Chains A and B, each alone.
Chain A
Amino acid sequence: MSEFLDMGGYAGYVWPSYGLTLAIVVLNIVWARRLLARSREEARRRLAMRGGAT
């Protein structure tokens, strides 16, 4: 296991690369969901402002 984590001496380059890339994958999920939630919230507000006139 420690041999695996050592990555043949390249641990200091391999793990930060994987960590950063996977963090960006996760961030993209968070950002996308937040954008959609915010747009829905804003759309709901626009509808409420018109007081159900439609």
Chain B
Amino acid sequence: MGWTWTWFHRLGSPPYIYGLAARLTPWFAWPAGALIVGGLYGGLVLAPPDYQQGDGFRIIYVHAPSAWMSLMVYTTMAVSAGIGLIWRMKVAHAVAASCAPVGASFTFAALVTGALWGQPMWGTYWEWDPRLTSELILLFLYLGYMGLRSAIEDVQRADRMSAVLAVVGVVNVPIIHYSVTWWNSLHQAPSVMRLAKPTMPPSMLIPLLLMLLGFTLFFFAVLLVRLRGEVLSRERSATWIREAVSP
């Protein structure tokens, strides 16, 4: 208990976080790049065409990772926002604020790549289907969160108000995930994230797993860079800033 508590306190310390984030970034960024390049090659070249969808199924290698990012980033944002609210931890609020633009952009990618996949396979770009609609609501939650933050001048107030929105909005995450099981949806059921064995052969599955892991590491690399910016802009008087910004 003793050392975990000390560690928790150090994580709350801006200079420690600023330095740690800088040191950790390359350890996420380079493996992310390698995994994404490998995943793209596997997905576009090595994987065989699908027996029903032909080469059209290859959209999965960008659509599924984007959709995964939209949910994983939101969950990270809501948990950090919650920690920020409960323990009044500035760094946790900085993490939450760092998540939003990343999550919003990949939610947009998930929606557009989904539309581009839907047109040839379902015959429509858009349908007011439970999965599609709940994912669109997720985009609005991200945009609402960012809009609320930018509308409030005082950073601490913006942190608290936007954190409440992030925490309340997290109910949408399980709704999106289970939408294809609970309701009769156009969208296919999960083929990777399921308790039983995945339904894909390894030649199709491995590139997808590389992309999912690559995007996840990419998120943490981007998060660490953004976090340094957010931490720096929350410090008004600390003398360590002088060290941080000295060229």
Contact = CB atoms under 8 A, between A and B. Distances in A.
Interface residues of B, number: 43
A27 B222 CA distance: 11
Interface of A: 4, 7-10, 13-14, 16-18, 20-22, 24-25, 27-29, 31-33, 35-36, 38-40, 42-44, 46-47, 54
Q: Binding site of A, secondary structure by majority: helix, strand, loop or mixed?
A: helix
Given A36-B226, A36-B229, A9 B242 contact: no
| Interface of B, helix, strand, loop or mixed by DSSP | helix
A24 B69 CA distance: 12
Interface of B: 36, 40, 44-45, 49, 54-56, 58-59, 62-63, 65-66, 101-102, 105-106, 108-109, 112-113, 116-117, 119-120, 218, 222, 225-226, 228-230, 232-233, 235-237, 239, 241-242, 244-245
B226 A32 contact: yes
A13 B56 contact: yes
B55 A7 contact: yes
Contacts of B226: 32, 35-36
Contact of B109 (A4, A10, A24, A47): A24
